[in-house]
Chain A
Amino acid sequence: MDSDRTVGIDDHDVDEVTLVARGIATAVAPEGGLTDVQAELLEAIASALTGVSVDYRTLEPLGPEEYADILSGRDIVYRRRIVHHMVLGELVLRPIPVVVAHRVATYALALGVNDDFVRVARRYAQGAYGLAWMDLQRNGFVEHVREASGEEPSDKVAPRGSAADPFEPAQVDPELAARWSAFEGLPPESLGRSVWEMYDGRGFGFPGTPGGAPKYLAQHDFVHVLADYGTNLKGELEVFGFIGRADPDPKGFAWLATLIGLFETGYISSAGFFDRDVRERNIRAPGMLQRVADAIGRGKVVCDRYGVDLFEVDYYDLAARPVGELRELLGLPAKSTAAIEGGSAGLFDLEGMSEHQRRVVAQRRGDET
């Protein structure tokens, strides 16, 4: 992987980065000022994306109209990504003060950005967790995340009435299952063989088999291999932060926002299976802010160099090629020193697995000896 992290980082003027940061900080600050987690997360992201270090705690306020004037020369994609940074800054608060959620909506409106997650954050702030949950459920995310949390996989073949396009319910598909099984015969270090080892080692059911992951969601497992992220919740935060920012369409932000809303702040803990994960405080864990920021930074590099939604890549066509070669194709940089020092685990590291996954791996290794 490319270890030169300055490659892909645009030349950014310190004054410009500071102006952008001022607007974000003003929008998301609670009454007592930015919290430590907000400041550190936003600083880490700014640094990963621009190479510029900004102290978010000392910025002067900047109102929505003035902010909109400053960003008027920027296109809607850029402005929407700025709004997403604001939403991230909100989502790490619990509770989200109504005044903050309303203020972020005001900034989004001034910037001409209409975004679903501004609305979801306002529902969290209001306390309308049920409505927010219904909104999030539409993306069919629940089962996948449930597995990543270390719980026993449920029968995902059963139709899920809430699943909506593009997340079709998992189907038993012998042809698809055969394609995944055939990955076993591919050369070591190839993408297909690596993803096969990931599934086989952890006891995951192949897509197309009863209980297997839906084909669409299984796409992100190829990204676990390529970006070398673990499959516990910390790894999922990294991989979806990466995928979301690698998507040229800002809609990819939904992945990270959903994960944080579900597991970090536990806004929908009443749904029953999130409590343990909320207690773990994944994003507040030591090193995680740097890991997530680095994943977003790596995603931006891939977005600039490759420019394709990683959920839409035909990995089956690429499966026989070496992982290293595909990383070059994507322009995928190595993890930063800060992310590695922060504990970013590789796909096959035990530290990158949930307790359930570790038990399966240990059992299988025991069976083999």
Chain B
Amino acid sequence: MNRNFSQTITVRCDDPAPLLALIAEWDLNQSTGEIMGYMGTRVLADREKLGHYMIIADFGVVDPNVSAADEAARNNARPETRAFAERVREIIDGEPEYHHFDEIYRTDR
């Protein structure tokens, strides 16, 4: 079974525009880069807590012998990913909060 994996990153910032620009730049680079598990990102704004955002990065299987979670772990170890995380830290308030999930249901599958 090709089970997807998602990483959520909860952050705080006054202006989300630089964050969104950074993620869009990341996506553009990923679209033509080496194939890996990264599938894309959603950013959600918290309606109750202004200035709080949840970034959801999805990972999928590209090699039948490697799980999506392992693809994410490999991605995490890449220098460009670490550099990206540093740039995120520079534009948010406080520390990001990470959580990791296996996808167990999706409507459009």
Which residues of A are at the interface with B, using a C-beta cutoff of 8 A?
98-99, 101-102, 105, 116, 119, 122-123, 125-128, 130-132, 134-135, 138
Cβ of B40 and Cβ of A128 under 8 Å apart?
yes
Partner of A138, one of B32, B39, B60, B64: B32
Given A98-B61, A102-B62, A134-B27, A126:B32 Cβ within 8 A: no
**Shortest Cβ distance from B20 into chain A, in angstroms?**
15
Cβ of B40 and Cβ of A130 under 8 Å apart?
yes
Q: Which residues of B contact A134 (CB under 8 A)?
A: 27-28, 31
For chain B residues 8-49, which have a beta carbon within 8 Å of chain A?
Answer: 27-28, 30-32, 35, 37-40
Cβ of A126 and Cβ of B27 under 8 Å apart?
no
Q: What is the total of A-B residue contacts with beta carbons within 8 Å? A: 45
Interface class of chain B by DSSP:
loop
Q: Which residues of B contact A98 (CB under 8 A)?
A: 2, 61-64
With an 8 Å Cβ cutoff, the count of chain B residues facing the other chain is: 17
Partner of A135, one of B32, B38, B62: B32
Partner of B64, one of A102, A131, A135: A102
Given A134-B28, A134-B31, A138-B32, A128:B64 Cβ within 8 A: no
For chain B residues 77-103, which have a beta carbon within 8 Å of chain A?
Answer: none
**Shortest Cβ distance from B13 into chain A, in angstroms?**
23
Measured CA separation A138–B28 after assembly (Å)? 10
Further pairs besides A102-B62, A105-B35, A134-B31: 4, Cβ < 8 Å: A122-B35, A127-B4, A131-B30, A135-B31
Q: Which residues of B contact A135 (CB under 8 A)?
A: 31-32
**Shortest Cβ distance from B37 into chain A, in angstroms?**
8
Q: Which residues of A contact B27 (CB under 8 A)?
A: 130-131, 134
Closest to A106 in B: B63
Question: Sorted from nearest, which 5 A-B pairs have the closest CB atoms?
Answer: A134-B31, A128-B39, A126-B60, A135-B31, A130-B40
Measured CA separation A130–B39 after assembly (Å)? 8
Q: Which residues of A contact B37 (CB under 8 A)?
A: 126
**Shortest Cβ distance from A283 into chain B, in angstroms?**
23
Q: Which residues of B contact A125 (CB under 8 A)?
A: 62
Cβ of A126 and Cβ of B28 under 8 Å apart?
no
Measured CA separation A126–B40 after assembly (Å)? 11
**Shortest Cβ distance from B2 into chain A, in angstroms?**
6
Cβ of A128 and Cβ of B38 under 8 Å apart?
yes
Partner of B60, one of A116, A119, A128, A132: A128
Cβ of A126 and Cβ of B61 under 8 Å apart?
yes
Closest to B4 in A: A127
Closest to B39 in A: A128
Most buried by B among A125, A126, A130, A135: A126
Q: Which residues of A contact B60 (CB under 8 A)?
A: 126-128
Q: Which residues of A contact B4 (CB under 8 A)?
A: 127
Q: Which residues of A contact B2 (CB under 8 A)?
A: 98
Partner of A99, one of B35, B38, B39, B64: B64
Closest to A122 in B: B35
Given A128-B39, A130-B27, A122:B32 Cβ within 8 A: no
Q: Which residues of B contact A138 (CB under 8 A)?
A: 32
Closest to A123 in B: B35
Closest to A101 in B: B62
Closest to A162 in B: B28
Measured CA separation A125–B63 after assembly (Å)? 10
**Shortest Cβ distance from A121 into chain B, in angstroms?**
10
**Shortest Cβ distance from B40 into chain A, in angstroms?**
5
